[in-house]
Amino acid sequence: MTAVQGERRAVVLLSGGLDSATVLAEVVHQGYRAYALSVAYGQRHSAELAASEAIAAHFGAAAHQVLTVDVGRFGGSALTDQRIAVPENGADEGIPVTYVPARNTLFLSLALGWAEVLDAEAIFIGVNAVDYSGYPDCRPAFIEAFSALAAVATKSGVEGHGPRIEAPLLTLSKAQIITRGTALGVPWPLTVSCYQADSQGRACGRCDSCRLRREGFLAAGQVDPTRYQ
């Protein structure tokens, strides 16, 4: 990583899914040097991490870090605990068992540390509060609270040049995200959204995330390029 005078840097949280791939495309489109950050947090499968590498390479990210944080040891989520089944019967009432405790707080914390070292202008995260699973840490109130925290938590924040927290998909529907991503050239076949993809990244077609993705392509009037098991 060589610092280039005057370059605008952004840290982008990259899961390997449809949303964060669109965010990375947006960041590159806006002229930032993109520093992609993925987290191996004990998720059931590693297909999404492989996807994040391919996507970061596709968009020419300046760097891509994959940090391992084994919060799966805490348990409590269907996404990290093999003993809790991923629901396949549509969205339940309330916050589903696929919720990973404090996940986006953790992801933004890691991004904040890296952003500070890079003196990045912004941190981008692909959370969405429209076609989503009802997770508390995907809502505008969460992004606002983390922004307020970042301003007081860091040296750069206290000095007045801390990173902004940007969530460009926050109020878009899944169909709008797909339309935008297509315009920006997101390579959809590389992305993996499924909560229980197989080792080749093929989707189950039954979980909440698969359902939202399929309905999104349908509503956007586009061919669904997802590879199913």
Note the residues at the interface with a second copy (CB under 8 A): 65, 67-71, 73-76, 95, 99-106, 108-110, 112-114, 116-117, 136-137, 139, 141-142, 145-146, 148-155, 157-158
Q: Of the two residues 106 and 204, which places its CB atom closer to a second copy in the complex?
A: 106
Q: Of the two residues 30 and 154, which places its CB atom closer to a second copy in the complex?
A: 154
DSSP lists the bridge partners of residue 141 as: none
Could you tell me the smallest distance in angstroms from the CB atom of residue 216 to a second copy?
Answer: 25
Could you tell me the smallest distance in angstroms from the CB atom of residue 217 to a second copy?
Answer: 29
Could you tell me the smallest distance in angstroms from the CB atom of residue 124 to a second copy?
Answer: 16
Q: Of the two residues 112 and 220, which places its CB atom closer to a second copy in the complex?
A: 112
Could you tell me the smallest distance in angstroms from the CB atom of residue 160 to a second copy?
Answer: 12
Q: Render 61-105 in DSSP notation, one character per residue.
A: -SEEEEEE--GGGG---TTT-TTSPPP-SSPPSSS-TTPPTTHHH
Could you tell me the smallest distance in angstroms from the CB atom of residue 106 to a second copy?
Answer: 4
Q: Of the two residues 15 and 226, which places its CB atom closer to a second copy in the complex?
A: 15
Q: Of the two residues 47 and 138, which places its CB atom closer to a second copy in the complex?
A: 138
Q: Render 166-188 in DSSP notation, one character per residue.
A: E-TTTT--HHHHHHHHHHTT--G
